[in-house]
């Protein structure tokens, strides 16, 4: 006798032709459901699929082995029920070569079988973490040295901008972080290029219309509306019969200030942010220190952000790392 699946499990088993994300606690039957889906696809009467046409990816080798075993058991059970079914019989044989594997092993499999199509050396191997870290450090050191030696104005500015006080390790950490973060995108080089363009604004207005300024505004808008919601709740509490009425006036005032900020900082509006900030400064009693900081925003943009643009393009770490790999492992002619 098989498992009696719950209605939710059954739904996951039956759903076809779309992406599905199943999130459930450990031991709640995710693997069982996945195995059942696979068995149904393999043993479907109208469109039977060969098991080695599926790609089944798990996080660990142990999970992959468990999955293969569970599918094998399922197939054997089906074969007991239909001893004459040659399709199922064949699947038991095909299962040995089925791609039930971790994502790392699958990528390796793909590269080993298609290295020629992307011009990869067939003798390639996977570097271990420690080795990668050493190479990154070496590439970075060479790159920074060469950049200093070149006397490039852009690089000098980059150093000035990112490591005030001349702490080079800060710049190095920035470069490594950025490189690692970029590597988590499908097209790291493209992502880096787009981020570089973020610094391409020629005026405060252009900066305000840029994708990151819009993102920032949307972020602030959400932050503010969250604050407004909470303060409105506080206001209700203050107004309750036995509420702390003495805070009411203060809460009212703060709510008014927050609400006044909302519409002008909405993502859909593109007025001059400098103007808005000026209004903020005069309209509300903002601490002197903050007022000074806000006032310097425009100066900061003109002095630093515009000038930093060439600096953004001056450090080519990914290229340097590739170059070092080629030098270290490349075949000598």
Ligand X SMILES: Nc1ncnc2c1ncn2[C@@H]1O[C@H](COP(=O)(O)OP(=O)(O)O)[C@@H](O)[C@H]1O
Separation CA 320–CA 40 (nearest Å): 50
Q: In whole angstroms, how close is the CB of 59 to Mg ion at the nearest point?
A: 10
Please choose, out of 20-28, 133-141, 171-179, 291-299, the segment that lies near ligand X by the rule CB under 6 A: 20-28
Cβ-proximal residues to 311 (8 Å cutoff; 6+ apart), any chain: 154, 155, 157, 158, 161, 162
Q: In whole angstroms, how close is the CB of 148 to ligand X at the nearest point?
A: 54
Cβ neighbours around 140 below 10 Å, total: 22
Choose among Mg ion, ligand X, none what residue 5 binds, the Cβ cut-off being 5 to 8 Å by kind.
ligand X
Cβ-closest position to ligand X: 29
Q: Could you say which of 2, 4, 19, 119 contacts ligand X (CB under 6 A)?
A: 4
- 63 versus 262: smaller Cβ distance to ligand X: 63
28 makes contact with Mg ion (CB under 5 A): no
Q: 86-92: which pairs have CB atoms within 8 A and are 24 or more residues apart?
A: 87/43, 87/48, 88/42, 88/43, 90/50, 91/42, 91/43, 91/50, 91/51
Please choose, out of 28-36, 199-207, 224-232, 322-330, the segment that lies near ligand X by the rule CB under 6 A: 28-36
Separation CA 31–CA 144 (nearest Å): 49
- 20 versus 260: smaller Cβ distance to ligand X: 20
Cβ-closest position to Mg ion: 31
Please choose, out of 25-33, 113-121, 163-171, 262-270, the segment that lies near ligand X by the rule CB under 6 A: 25-33
Q: Could you say which of 18, 26, 118, 123 contacts ligand X (CB under 6 A)?
A: 26
191's torsion region: left (phi>0), alpha (psi -120 to 50) or beta?
alpha
Separation CA 120–CA 92 (nearest Å): 34
């Amino acid at each position: 006798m098989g498992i009696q699946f719950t209605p939710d499990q059954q739904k996951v088993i039956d759903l076809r032709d779309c992406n599905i994300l199943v999130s459930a606690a450990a031991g709640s039957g995710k693997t069982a459901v996945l195995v059942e889906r696979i068995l149904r696809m393999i043993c479907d009467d109208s469109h039977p699929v060969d098991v080695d046409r599926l790609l089944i990816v798990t996080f660990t080798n142990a999970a992959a082995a468990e999955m293969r075993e569970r599918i094998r058991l399922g197939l054997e059970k089906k074969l007991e029920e239909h001893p004459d079914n040659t399709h199922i019989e064949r699947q038991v044989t095909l299962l040995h070569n089925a791609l039930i594997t971790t994502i790392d092993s699958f990528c390796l499999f793909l590269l080993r079988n298609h290295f020629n199509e992307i011009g990869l050396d067939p003798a390639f191997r996977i570097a271990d973490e420690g080795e990668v870290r050493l190479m990154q450090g070496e590439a970075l050191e060479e790159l920074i040295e060469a950049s200093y030696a070149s006397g490039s104005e852009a690089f000098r500015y980059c150093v000035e901008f990112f490591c005030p006080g001349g702490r080079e390790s800060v710049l190095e950490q920035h470069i490594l972080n950025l490189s690692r973060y970029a590597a988590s995108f499908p097209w790291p080089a493209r992502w880096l290029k787009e981020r570089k363009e973020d610094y391409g604004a020629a005026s405060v207005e252009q900066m305000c219309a840029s994708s990151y300024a819009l993102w920032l505004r949307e972020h602030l808008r959400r932050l503010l509306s969250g604050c407004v919601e909470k303060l409105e709740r506080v206001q209700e509490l203050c107004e309750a019969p036995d509420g702390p009425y003495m805070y009411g006036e203060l809460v009212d005032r703060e709510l008014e200030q927050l609400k006044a900020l909302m519409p002008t900082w909405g993502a859909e509006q593109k007025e001059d942010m400098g103007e808005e900030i000026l209004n903020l400064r005069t309209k509300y009693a903002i601490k002197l220190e903050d007022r000074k900081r806000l006032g310097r925003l425009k100066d900061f943009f003109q002095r630093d952000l515009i000038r930093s643009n060439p600096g953004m393009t001056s450090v080519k770490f990914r290229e340097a790392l590739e170059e070092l790999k080629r030098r270290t492992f490349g075949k000598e002619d």
